[in-house]
Amino acid sequence: MGTAFPIRLMAAAAATVAALRPDRAALAAAFALLAAAGAAAAPAARPLGCLIEPDRVADVGTPVVGVVDQLRVERGDEVHAGQVLLLLRADVERASASAAGARARTEADVLAARAALDFANQKLRRAKGLLQENFISQQAVDQAAAEQEQASQKLAQAQDQRRVLGEERRVADAQLAQRTVRSPFAGVVVDRFVNPGERVEEKPLMRIAVVDPLRVELMVPVALHGRLHLGDRLAVQPELPDQGPVTGTVTRMDRVFDAASNSFRVRLSLPNPGGRLPAGLRCKAELPELPPAAGAAGTPGALRPAAAVSAPPQAGGRNPATSPVPAPATTAVTTGAPAAR
């Protein structure tokens, strides 16, 4: 509320004095001028408290049940996207993947089917030549053609079987890959929740956070709605010794206000190369100056001097706020002597 309530109170007092005591119109005018001067000087917006947080946080887990075999990183380590965080025991899955790979690499069935097809083609060609010389009957040629078709289908079957074995190999490799937990993005290890030899099932294993850029969350008064826009740059002062102000860029603004606090949430993006600022810091955000309060000079609803405030006219059409104050009437006091004629 600030100074708005005292200013309105002075303005109301000035109007009341002008209406009830015409002889104090000068005092009412002074009150009104003082109120107008106070309203014209709108207070600047004070810094708002904020919190510097990681841009993203993920509790990394695994979709399979297993036992932790190796830990590759520790709390505080920097990781890049796709880096191995830990390994689960995968003896069975590794053996299955190896067997599937061996079956997928086998070409004996395909080579045998291809050789049988070549022999069937040769037999069919010889049969057609003998038929032209009337050494064999048409039935023998038809039988050779049927054998050639069977050999062709067996080759296709062997090739399809090899493709199936290749898919099975990919399934085995995917099951083996699930035993390796990797970082979803570049960041730092905030915490780990497991130890080697521990059984994991539907629980987070490690927490990874992005610290470049950082995210600044603050609640802004509704009075500043429309004064902030996406892309605006605000000064942020972290509560850290020997740390100067940094600049953040507005990236998000809520479209639904908080009625309880009469404010809305604004998010800033804060570059943090090299991770020089730790996340989790409290901070102060410098906001633009608040718009002038209603009633300031030159704004709609500005306060007017008391001389311009119209008081209700009295009988005879005289306005006590603007009409001159008549001198008080004198009454003759009788002292016992007759008045001079």
The pLDDT tens digits of the residues spanning 210-239 come to 999 999 999 999 988 888 899 999 999 999
Strand pairing report for 66-71 and 180-182: unpaired
Checking if the pLDDT of 337 tops 70, the result is: no
Percent residues over pLDDT 70 in the chain: 71
Domains of the chain by residue range: 1-42+292-322, 90-178
More confident residue, 330 or 280: 280
Checking if the pLDDT of 329 tops 80, the result is: no
Tell me which of 6-10, 61-65, 211-215, 248-252 is least confident.
6-10
Checking if the pLDDT of 41 tops 90, the result is: no
Checking if the pLDDT of 155 tops 70, the result is: yes
pLDDT digits (tens, 9 = 90+) for 10-35: 555 555 545 555 555 554 454 454 44
- Top-confidence range, 8-17, 266-275, 309-318: 266-275
Checking if the pLDDT of 328 tops 60, the result is: no
Task: Note the pTM of the prediction, 2 decimals.
Answer: 0.61
